[in-house]
Structure formats: structure tokens, C-alpha cells
Structure 1
Amino acid sequence: MWLVNLPKLVISWDVWNLQCAHFRKLHSVCLAECDAMVEITWLLLVPNLQSLYIVNCGGLEEIISSSEEFGVAYDENTFSKLKTLALLDLPNLQSICSMNALPFQSLETIHVRRCPKLRRLPLDSNSAKNTLKKTQGDEEWWDGLEWENETIKARFIQMYEC
């Protein structure tokens, strides 16, 4: 699914059938230039998501909101099939999710460019175990990341490329 150059797009949850079978069929989502979106919690309804690209969405502050509005919440299966996560030109992005860490059982690649307010990744020592091949990002961003502890930082620094 590609949503591109929709500066006023707002997704109203009450319009969606939260059990929509079509979301289960989505494997790739690309959001670009959708400045009105502040969060995209509806991604919780895409259990088979393998690729997520978010580019130049100036209003985006959080990917998965901590709110359990409409009975949708994230858990250990959130993004369990995600292989590629690309976050580019998101000047207001502060959080992927407020949960301390996600398992990311299939994650292979993380790309983060020009996301100056993103200070934490939802990773711990069990995240992306044996799957993560590389993390790419601006050097200044990487150096400013906050980690739960030095062991976790040391584990992920091995996969980092600027």
C-alpha cells in the first residue's frame, strides 16, 4: 500500500472496520508526504507487515501510540514479520512505540535518516536476535541514541553503518 503526497490525510478510526481482512494481506506499507498524520497506530492491524517505509511526513510524532483507544494494543507479536524499517526525513518523530522493546523476530534492516528527535529504538538484548544484518543512520543521530544499558548498545553497534 502506497500513500504518497497526501498532506491533509487523516485516518479516522471510527470509519475503519478494525477486523478488516484486507489489512491482513498487506506486506508492504509506504507513507510519504502525509504531513497531517501524528501517529499511525493502525499499523497494529497489519500483522503480516514485512516492509515499512515512512518518508517526509512532517507531522508524525509517534508510529504506534501508547493509547489503547478502540481496543487495539501492541504486544510481543507487533511487527513480528517486519524485515525492513525505513524512517526518513521525519523531523518530529519522537517514538516508534512507548513499549521499552519489541522482539522484532524477523527484522533484518533499519534505516534512519534525518529523524533528530528519535532518541530511542525499541530494542533490547532479545530484539532481532540472529536476524538483524544492518542499521543505517546519520552518525550524529546514532551517537545521540539512548540505550537501556551498554550491553544492548554494544550488541547493536556491530550492525551499524553510517
Structure 2
Amino acid sequence: MNNLQFLVFLGCTISEIKIYMTCIQSNTSYLLRNPINPCFLSLYDVYVVQGSKCLRELTWLIFAPNLTSIDIQCSDQPEDIRSKDKASVSEEPGIVPFRKLKFLRLSSVPELMNIYWTPLPFPCLKTIVAIGCPKLKRLPLDSTSGWEGEKGLVIRYREKEWIEGVEWEDEATKSRFLRSCVKV
């Protein structure tokens, strides 16, 4: 897994991915929940496409610190990108997921409700595409989130009702990101 660069789930029948670590000293396995122990150091791109009906959440992506692209299309199952219920209460302060993420596409994911439960800085994020995600009401953004280049973070959407129904963190966040929303 150390050299895994991209991962594609196509017609997936896996309901859950659990990450286990083996302790070398005691030769026992334990469920890894703490993101200070990344497993997928070379993983850059993850695609969940065309009829992947079983992955309920993608919390394991926190173990991919160099992830630059997440592309989820035509998938009925995911309700969360990162499940708050599955997140470890013992997370170290200062561990920020999706630090290198540049592109996030969510297309035809009707059950998706959450990406992350608190705002994230997303220092490299340039594009969010949200099409066909009627239950996704909150984006994990605040007024300081996102790429700060010439054009900043762009949010692409198709449904007028969706963008009108987004619940922004505060008025500063709404003001900043509504200007960068583009209907496609």
C-alpha cells in the first residue's frame, strides 16, 4: 500500500473499509482510528464511480495525507465523506485532513449529507463540484478556507435550489463564496 497512487471503486460491493495496524512488538492487530499514523502516503487520487452502491462513508481517506483529488460520481450510498461517529476522539490537535486536496467532485450522490462536520482550511483546494447532492446542505468552509490564488476557490453547481439551500458557516463565509459560485 505504500506505493498506491490512485484508487478506483467501480461497481463496488464493499460496505466499509477499516484500517488495521499490526503492532510489531506484540504482533497484534488493532483498528487504526488516529490520523497521526497515515497509511496511504502515495495516494493522490480516489474515484468512486458508476454504481458504487455500498460504501457508506469514506472516513478512511484521513489516512491519505497527500490526497489531491476526490471524485465521487453516480453513487447512491455515501452519507458522509468523513463520519463524525467514526472519527477518533483521541485525534491529536493540529491534524488537519485534506490539506493537499485540490479538487473535490460530488456528482449524483443523492444521499450525501456531510463532507466534514467543521470548517477546514483547504489551503490547496481550487474547485468543488456539487451536482445532484440534494441532501448536502453544509460545506466544510469558513471565510478563511480555500485556495487564495488569483481566482480563489470555485464552487460549481447545477441546481439553483441547491446553492440557495446551502447553510453557510456565517455571513462572511456566505459573502466570500457566493461570489465564486458558478452554475454549470
Moved over 3 A (4+): 14-21, 69-76
Identity of aligned residues (%): 33
Give deviations 1:105-141, integer Å, cap 9, x for gaps: 1000010000000000010011015143421012211
TM-score w.r.t. the length of structure 1 is 0.87
What residue ranges of structure 1 are gaps of 5+ in the alignment? none
Q: Does 1:152 align with 2:173?
A: yes
Mapping of residues 11-160 of structure 1, within 5 Å: 11-13=16-18, 18=32, 19=37, 21=39, 23-32=40-49, 33-66=51-84, 67-69=86-88, 77-99=96-118, 101-131=119-149, 132-137=152-157, 138-160=159-181
Provide closer, same or farther for how the CA distance between residues 58 and 126 of structure 1 changes in structure 2, counting only shifts above 3 A.
Answer: same
* Deviation string, structure 1 residues 14-44 (Cα, Å, up to 9, x no partner): 55665574x1101111011221111110000
Question: Do the aligned partners of 1:44 and 1:72 also contact (CA within 8 Å) in 2?
Answer: no
Bigger proportion of residues as helix: 1
Aligned equivalents of 1:74, 1:3: Cα separation in 2? 31
Distance change in 2, residues 1:92/1:74 (3 Å): farther
Secondary structure of 1:140's counterpart equals helix
- Equivalent position of 1:3 in the other structure: 9
Q: What is the TM-score when the length of structure 2 is the normalising length?
A: 0.78
Contact 2:55 2:78 in 1 (8 A): yes
Aligned pairs, number: 159
- The CA RMSD measured in Å over matched residues stands at 2.2
TM superposition shift of 1:150: 1.8
